[in-house]
Chain A
C-alpha cells in the first residue's frame, strides 16, 4: 500500500514539476493503442512518460455487490479473469489486446466491444474514478454504488478523453453475470437485409448480445437464459457457428482479416437504420450503429464523411490522432472541449485538444 501511494506521489510530483517547467507528460498504459499517444500533437519526443503499468491490481471485488474497484493500470484481461471466476463479466466486452490493454486506457479510448449495442458502453459501467489532473491533484468523482447523482458526472466525462485530462488511477465498475447460454447463428444476407434483420430482431425482443455483418454473412450471438436462447434459435433459424467464442474474440480484438489494414478504415457511428453506403468493402456491427469502411484514398474518405454527415453521424479515420477525431465535432463543442480541458490541465501538461 505504501509502495502504491509512493507511486501515486511520484506521478503527482512529476506532473507538478512538468507544470512548473512548462514541460509535457505522456500517459502510457499497456501501449496497445499507440495512435492515442499524440506523438505529433504533443511534441512528445521531449514529454515525460507517466507509466500506469505499476498501478495495477484489484482493490475491491465483491461479486454480490456487482462492483469491482481496480487500479488504472490493471490489464483488462486480468480483470476479466478475476470476474469470470465469480461468474461475472465486463459487459461492454472491451478489447484486451492479448493482455496489454489496461482499464485506464479502455476508459481513455472509450473502447467497447461486440456487446456494446445490447449491454452498454464502457461509460455505462463506470461508477467512479480517481484521477490525477494536470495540477497534480488527486480527485475522486462518482463512487462505488449503482446510483449516485451527487455532483457533476466527471467519471463518465473522462471516457474518450484520450489522456488529455489526467491519469486515471482507479476505476469502480458495475459487473454483470455471465449469460447462462450463448449461441451464434449465421445468415447469408446482403447489407440491406442484414441491417433489417439486426434492427427488427432486437426490436422484437430477441435475446441478442452481438451482431456483425461481414463478407456477406450476418453473425448473430444470442445469449441469456437457456430456454430463451433455444426459443430464439427456433424462431430465427440460421446456421450454427462452430467455434463461436474464437470468432467473436477475433472480431473483438480486430484480428479478423477485415481489420488487416486499420489505417485504411473509416469508422462510422450513425443511427442503426441508416442505409448502407454502396461501393465500399465494409462491415457492420452494433446492430447497424457502427460501420467500418475501407477507404484508402482521400476521395473515398470524403465520400464516407459526406454520407455520414448527411446521416447526422460521425466518421473518423480509425487510428487517427485524438485531435483529428475532434475535428468532426461542431466548433461550439470543440470550444467547450478546450475550455473543459483547460480546467483540468491549466498548464498544458497533457496533450492538447486543438491542432497546433
Chain B
C-alpha cells in the first residue's frame, strides 16, 4: 500500500501539473492551508494536493487522471458548508470548482440562467436583477457560497416554503463523472425522459459526480415585501398561530420563530426591536404585487391576533422590514456572544410536534445543565436549537454532544429528519443510522457504485458504512477559534 502510494504520487502530481494552469495546483502545506476545512471548522486535514481548474476540460482531465490512478477526489465550492462535506482527505485530491465562475447566459424571457459551478449564489441574482428576476433559494451564506455547492447540498434558505429548495429551482446540470464522461441531466424545458437523475444529483454531496454547469430557474422579483412581527405569551401559542396561518390558506414568503433566550441574545446584539418579554416571537413575510401583499397582510394580522398574539407590528418601510429580519439573521452570532461555544442542530419535524419537541428540549436543557436557544424555520418545520456550552469546562463538550444527539433522535422519533438543510457530510454521518435501515443505506451505497464504481468521489461522507453505525456527531462552532466565513450571517 505504502509502496503503491509512493510510486503513483509523483506521476499523478506531474499529470495534474501538466493539465492545470501555472497556479492551479497547490502542493505545499502553506498553500493548501486555506482548504483544510469548510464551515465545520473543527474537522481539519490537509489534502494530497489542491487542483483549481479554470475550464471544464481541465476539470475533466483532473478527474480522468485521478480515476486512472485510483486516487479519491473531494470536490469543494466556496467551502461554506456546515456539515464537513468538503473536508479534505489526506489521501485525496481536493478539486475546487471556484475558478469556473462564468455566467454563460441569462435568458430573461425563458426565466433561466446558465452558469458555471463557481458562480456565487448572490451573483446570479445580481446579474438577473436588470431583468427584474432573481434566483430564489437564499442560503444565509449566499454572498459567498457557490451554485455548484448549492446543487451538491440541495441548499435551502428562509423562503423555502413558498419558493422551494435548490432542487425546485434547477432545470439542468452538466456533470462530470469520475471516469471523465460528461452528462447532461434535466432539460432547459421542464422535463427529460426517464428517471429523475437531476433530483438524485441534487443534494448528493459530491458523491456521484462533479457539477460543471448549472441551468437555474429565475423567478420574477416580487414588487413588494412586508413583514409582520408578533409576540406570544407562550411557545405553544406561537406554534399554533403558524398552523392557523397555513389553515387560512396562506403560504407566507417567510415564517420564522424564535424563543425568548434567542430574542434576548439578539436584542442585546442588533437591537432589532423584538419584544423580549414575549415567550416567543413570529416573523411572517408576505410578498407579491402591492394588492396581494395588502390583502395577505390584513389576513395574517387578523389570524395572529385571533391566535393570541399580545402584539403585532407590520413593517412600514423597507428599512424597518430589514431591521426586523436582522435579529433573526443574527441569531447564531448573537448566541456566540453570550456563550463561549455552541452547537447548532438542524433537525426538521412535522410542525404539530413543535410544542412537544420544545418541551422535551427544555427538559433536556435542565438534565444536561446547558442553555439552549431555539430558532426555527417555522413554516417548514426546520429547527435550529443552539446548545450553549464552554469547552474549557471539563465535561461540558460531552454533555452538549449528548444533548444534541438526543434532540436529533427525537426529531426522527416524531417523524422528522436529522438534517433539513445543512447536509450530512461527516457531521451527521452516524445519525444516518438512526434514520435509515441497513437495507436503505445499502441501497444508497449501491447507487453510489452505479456512478462511481471504485468509490473515489468524496469517500466516507454522507452515507455511513453499516459497521460505522454507532454514536452521534454534530456541528460545533467555537467562539475561541477562527471560524471560516465568520462574517457571514448564519441562520
Contact = CB atoms under 8 A, between A and B. Distances in A.
Contacts of B251: 66, 176-177
A67 B422 CA distance: 22
Interface in A133-150: 133, 137, 139-141, 143-150
B210 to A, nearest CB: 14
Given A199-B110, A228-B289, A289-B190, A343 B443 contact: yes
B419 A146 contact: no
Nearest to B240: A64
Interface of B: 107-112, 131-133, 153-154, 156, 160-161, 164-165, 167-168, 177, 181-185, 187-197, 199-200, 202-204, 207-208, 220-223, 243-244, 246-247, 249-251, 288-289, 291-292, 294-296, 348-352, 377, 379-382, 415-424, 428, 432, 435-437, 439-441, 443-444, 446-451, 462-463
B243 A64 contact: yes
B143 to A, nearest CB: 21
A145 B349 contact: yes
Contacts of A65: 246, 350-352
A44 interface: no
B152 to A, nearest CB: 10
A332 interface: yes
Given A203-B132, A205-B132, A145 B196 contact: no
Point out which of A87, A177, A196, A226 has the most chain B C-beta atoms below 10 A from its C-beta: A177
Given A145-B416, A145-B417, A205-B288, 19 more contacts: A64-B243, A65-B350, A112-B191, A144-B350, A149-B423, A150-B417, A150-B424, A150-B435, A154-B447, A157-B197, A160-B194, A203-B132, A228-B295, A314-B191, A325-B193, A330-B183, A333-B183, A337-B197, A343-B446
B420 A145 contact: yes
| Chain A residues touching B, range | 35 or more
A110 B223 CA distance: 33
B197 A336 contact: yes
Interface in A165-182: 165, 176-178, 180
Contacts of B289: 205, 207, 227-228, 231
A314 B195 contact: no
B288 to A, nearest CB: 7
B436 A151 contact: yes
B420 A148 contact: yes
A120 B168 contact: yes
Interface in A247-304: 268-273, 286, 288-290
B383 to A, nearest CB: 10
A236 interface: no
B294 A160 contact: no
Contact of A333 (B156, B185, B247, B349): B185
Contacts of A145: 348-350, 380-381, 415-417, 420
Contacts of A200: 109
Nearest to B423: A149
Contacts of B291: 225, 227-228, 230-231
Contacts of B177: 332
Given A160-B196, A227-B295, A64 B247 contact: yes
A141 to B, nearest CB: 7
B254 to A, nearest CB: 13
Contact of B380 (A124, A146, A156, A314): A146
Contacts of A336: 183, 197, 450-451
A159 B109 CA distance: 28
Contact of A148 (B181, B417, B432): B417
B206 to A, nearest CB: 12
Contact of B440 (A141, A148, A227): A141
Contacts of B463: 151-152
Given A147-B156, A329-B194, A152 B447 contact: yes
B419 A139 contact: no
A313 B186 CA distance: 10
B293 to A, nearest CB: 9
A266 B251 CA distance: 37
A150 B415 CA distance: 13
A339 interface: yes
A153 B292 contact: no
A337 B195 contact: yes
A63 B247 contact: yes
A146 to B, nearest CB: 4
Interface in A89-127: 110, 112, 116-117, 120-121, 123-124
Contacts of A152: 200, 203-204, 207-208, 444, 447-448, 463
Contact of A150 (B160, B202, B428): B428
A216 B110 CA distance: 22
Given A225-B292, A343-B443, A153 B109 contact: no
Contacts of B436: 140, 150-151
Interface string A221-236: 0001111101100000
A76 interface: no
Closest 9 CB pairs of A and B: A156-B199, A227-B291, A146-B380, A177-B249, A147-B420, A205-B220, A269-B189, A339-B450, A271-B188
Nearest to B153: A149
A133 B447 CA distance: 14
Given A158-B195, A199-B109, A153 B202 contact: yes
B193 A272 contact: no
A342 interface: yes
B190 A156 contact: no
Query: Which among A159, A289, A313, A328 has the highest number of chain B CB atoms within 10 Å?
Result: A289
Given A145-B417, A149-B424, A178-B249, A139 B443 contact: yes
A290 to B, nearest CB: 7
A87 to B, nearest CB: 5
